[in-house]
Amino acid sequence: MASDNENPIRIGLLGIGTVGSETARLLIEDCEELSARVGRAIELVGVACRNPDDVDFPWLDHGLLTTDTEALCRRADIVVELFGGLEPARTMVTLAMESGASVVTANKALLATYGPELYRTAAAHGVDLYFEAAVGGAIPIVHPLRESLAGDRVEWMLGIVNGTTNYILDQMTTEGLDFDVALKQAQEQGYAEADPTGDIEGEDAANKAAIMATLAFHTNVVLRDVTAEGITSITAEDIEAATAEHKVIKLLAVMENDESGVSARVYPALIDERHPLASVHGSFNAIFIHARAAGDLMFYGRGAGGAPTASAVVGDVVTEARHIAQGCTGPSIPMYLDLPKAPLDAAKAAFAVRFVIHDKPGVLAAIAREFSDHGISINGVNQDLTPTRHDPGYSGELQQLRLVTHQCDEQTLRTTVKAVQGLDFVTGTPSVLRVLA
């Protein structure tokens, strides 16, 4: 009888979609080389899918396909979960770990919702849970947070972590497209799903923010702890106004750990065109980390796509296969802190607010008085913006007025903007964007 060290390490793959098919291809076509890197043979022993008859890839033996996901989870040494969503992914991942298998996943929604629970399950059963591909696609960001910076204190992180929204905003900026046109183009290019809600409303980035905050701050942060704003309200006028001030708009994930507590937020923000994030184009991602000893670090690369994401998945498979070959496990994910969540009004920022106004004498003074009465200091004013549409019942030309504040809390800012909206010479819905310092 062969010893365990002579038997191949069995890999079960759950899901054969865009990422799953590329993962299967890499595991099959590069099997010999990957086995050499592991120091022991690896073998893809099954691929769970809903409709095997619909699967047709030249590199995949149809005999590997199965609808019995539970049986595959029980007989594999490593289960690669690429179903996505919460169920049956949660049930299958838990079953795999309870059966003694380690798990590799790219499922950001699963980890952002049930991550702490799954980390504890992995530790309790002496197996590993790896998920490099869940944040940033091919960018190696999870490993640095989990291991490379384990001896440091991460104080804050920010970055572009959603390729779909970055592509849309980039097209609006560089090509002058309206939001709807840029979104349609993103869908045609394969950067956006048929239902893009999770991306454009900020939920995808919020999932990733929860995962990164948990790893970096060693405390339980889940999706419900993250506040998220999307980009659906960004207009061509917002882009034009930003360009006039030598700025660009990016959807950012911002995670902080300071005296007010831990916070994780997603929102569109204005950044200076000279900032490194301004040069992140298309579907690329970039993440900044500031650690107390290491200082500033930046990670950049493709944040989406079948092949780049599969690269990160297979990298985790090789890592875990090495652990199995050597009879050990990797480091656990310690959540030894119970840090408070920072209240929303604890976060202060500078804001750019764009109003559409009737062009009459005294308008600027009246608006400035509202800001002053609410205790918000104005840092700059821009009236040199393209006039906008006509307002029914008003014979004059509508103008755009853009104010940039000094730092203030969001709740006060929103109250002030609402008060200004009540003035009879202000029309439409104001645009409110944070300004990255």
Q: Which residues are annotated as a binding site?
A: 14-21, 108, 193
Binding residues for NADP(+): 14-21
Give me the catalytic one of 184, 208, 341, 348. Answer: 208
What is the spatial distance between Cα 373 and Cα 381, in angstroms, rounded to a whole number? 18
> Is 341 annotated in the active site?
no
Strand-strand pairing, 227-228 and 261-272: parallel
Binding residues for L-homoserine: 193
On whether the CB atoms of residues 206 and 134 are closer than 8 A, the answer is no
Binding residues for NADPH: 108
Residues serving a catalytic function are 208
